[in-house]
Structure 1
């Protein structure tokens, strides 16, 4: 198996070793302020109504600037935006590099970005809302909602959301890989994705162990549609995005991408050459990774996912259900647990995302009420490590040395 193929097949699943979550970044015109060597643009993001805006100290900002630029150079990242928000020390919002290599347009905090597997936090939130309403149960088996699932009479919704189903990951199927890379703009239906998975035997019995798998989320998306009585994108809009006030987050029907957005760059191509990906169709990721958001929306969403609370103090998820969500059994990754659609990495709660051309990391540290969001316009690994993970490690080493987002590099693919 080539390293290139091994990487692509886990895209949108957030590489088994990474954790982050989805938090929103909203728009607002950005003023580009060039920085030496990195063409960085810095624009303060809007603060919540009534909050006093305070920046991190100049000394900490310099440390973060240096760390981000160092990782950019090492990993050859075209552009990214970083947001750090902490109530006692202030905030840090900066963009670095370019959004488009062809035009030299700088990255800005208000750009729309594809967020890959952070979509999972939205899909699972929709599931948990239906649980709170009594319309489904976490211990229901999937055969109650979807026919033809291997072991469907034994796999529960809880095991799907917690990545413990034992199902084969459709994005690891050879024919799927060929279909996607031969025409990245083609649409896929959820049933087509499941067909790629179900032609393979189960990998292990339900609940036996942790295995990150996009197939699980496709099934949960179909559960939401059946129990919620709406297409998944409409249910998420009405029941998740609107209540959370996420006006710049969307679940696209196809390859639509609102302006302004960054161009994305990937080597996950049939030829192996780096290509632009903004016009590629993310329908192949659907409930597992098709969504789009902004830095400010992700900031809001990060805390909502970690606490179950909306910005206005109302709850999106009940305390009892949120407690189940935050129960994060250990994974094979040291210091990392995975609950119901979320990672816990050294205390940081959330998810990351990786889609050809884009990566993101959205995490919240409840003990310090601190949020970190990173969005970037490449998914090309550096020494077998996803760049979003490298930025997460570098940033948290500075702002939370007792809670470092330190995920190990993936073993080389064989």
Structure 2
């Protein structure tokens, strides 16, 4: 699912803080911005501060270049940063422009808003507390947060695996109107939950699977209550610092470290394209507000998929996925992580930005994609289209494919 601030025309489709697995039909319309071939040459750069590894063979690199440029031209993606790392070599390149007005090129060291990739960090925090014996995945959420409908029946496991049945606050009209009315507003977790709790559940706890950002907002509160730290502090001290991810953070305002690209979206009151770079992402919170870089997600994707920060038995529980109703059998969801054709990780979308951060254990290969638009193409996420085109080349037996309407 993507983080959509809906327009008057597509409001029912929801502002959904960036989930990867359950892509909804996002509504028509795409940017009229220039394609990568119109704007800037492909930029090939070594990872900052890292020793260069062997590059993938030139024929494969050329094929990936062509695939990326074709998707960017078709879907009107202004700029993209792409990294592939694996036993066959590295591929790290930037395409297109960071700003369509200034025509400045994308660079591989830019920061980006990562939407629902945030969920992988928040749920990892909960699982670390499990390893410390401070919480159990089968604890009811009522042990930690008051006022949750059916809170005595909804477990932390169900929240992490999108099986609570709680309404998704980002799909509620009143919430969407509040965001559009003030794009600089700060939303507290309780404000977000109030929107959700005012709506009936969509199914009894544990008896379905439906993506809801409400689930991860609650899990963020659990981390804060049990650890005694704010969620940004916890994620910094327990996850990003130990992993040497110096450029990854959870902001509490619209602060956006540079350098970063300009973000383009049509999630506006009139449906016209706008610059969303400095919009406040606080409404995403524990579910979708984080910022990162290509190099940091290159570290995070395999760490997430292999359980680098967790006990093996806890990671095994994380990877117990369930099928997504109505989706192909190749798509399933675990505890804050998805499996798409064997690729483990998450993607994210927030107005102006989309990210894919995944790892393929079978080939020990990492793929990270960051783009500066969330404008759908024929109902599909542009970042997912890029991931599909790239994996058709680098892992033809394991294609990352999210069909339109999923």
Q: Shorter-chain TM-score: which interval?
A: over 0.9
Alignment of 1:179-194 (within 5 A): 179-194=178-193
Residue correspondences, number? 387
Matched, 1:245 2:244: yes
How far 1:52 moved relative to its partner?
6.0
Alignment of 1:319-398 (within 5 A): 319-332=312-325, 333-334=327-328, 335-398=330-393
Structure 2 Cα separation of the partners of residues 307 and 40 of structure 1? 36
- 1:82 touches 1:93 (CA, 8 Å); kept in 2? yes
What TM-score do you get using the length of structure 2 for normalisation?
0.92
Structure 2 gap ranges (5+): 1-5, 25-35
Matched, 1:121 2:129: no
- 2:232 touches 2:251 (CA, 8 Å); kept in 1? yes
Structure 2 Cα separation of the partners of residues 252 and 232 of structure 1? 10
- 1:40 touches 1:107 (CA, 8 Å); kept in 2? no
User: Paired residue for 1:17, among 23, 48, 52?
Assistant: 23
Question: SS of the counterpart of 1:320?
Answer: helix
Matched, 1:157 2:156: yes
- 1:15 touches 1:354 (CA, 8 Å); kept in 2? no
What TM-score do you get using the length of structure 1 for normalisation?
0.91
Matched, 1:307 2:306: yes
Aligned alpha-carbon RMSD (Å): 1.6
Structure 2 Cα separation of the partners of residues 362 and 206 of structure 1? 29
How far 1:363 moved relative to its partner?
0.5
- 1:360 touches 1:374 (CA, 8 Å); kept in 2? yes
Question: SS of the counterpart of 1:191?
Answer: helix
Matched, 1:174 2:173: yes
Structure 2 Cα separation of the partners of residues 8 and 55 of structure 1? 41
How far 1:399 moved relative to its partner?
0.4
How far 1:40 moved relative to its partner?
3.3
Structure 1 Cα separation of the partners of residues 281 and 37 of structure 2? 35
Alignment of 1:122-137 (within 5 A): 122-137=121-136
Structure 1 Cα separation of the partners of residues 202 and 289 of structure 2? 25
Aligned residue in 2 for 1:206: 205
Aligned residue in 1 for 2:288: 289
Q: Which runs of 4+ in 1 moved over 4 A?
A: none
Structure 1 gap ranges (5+): 19-34, 310-315
How far 1:406 moved relative to its partner?
1.2
Aligned residue in 2 for 1:276: 275
Deviations 1:51-98 (A, max 9, x none): 7611111111111011001100111001011111111x1011111111
How far 1:12 moved relative to its partner?
2.3
- 1:82 touches 1:372 (CA, 8 Å); kept in 2? yes
Structure 2 Cα separation of the partners of residues 47 and 248 of structure 1? 12
- 1:38 touches 1:69 (CA, 8 Å); kept in 2? no
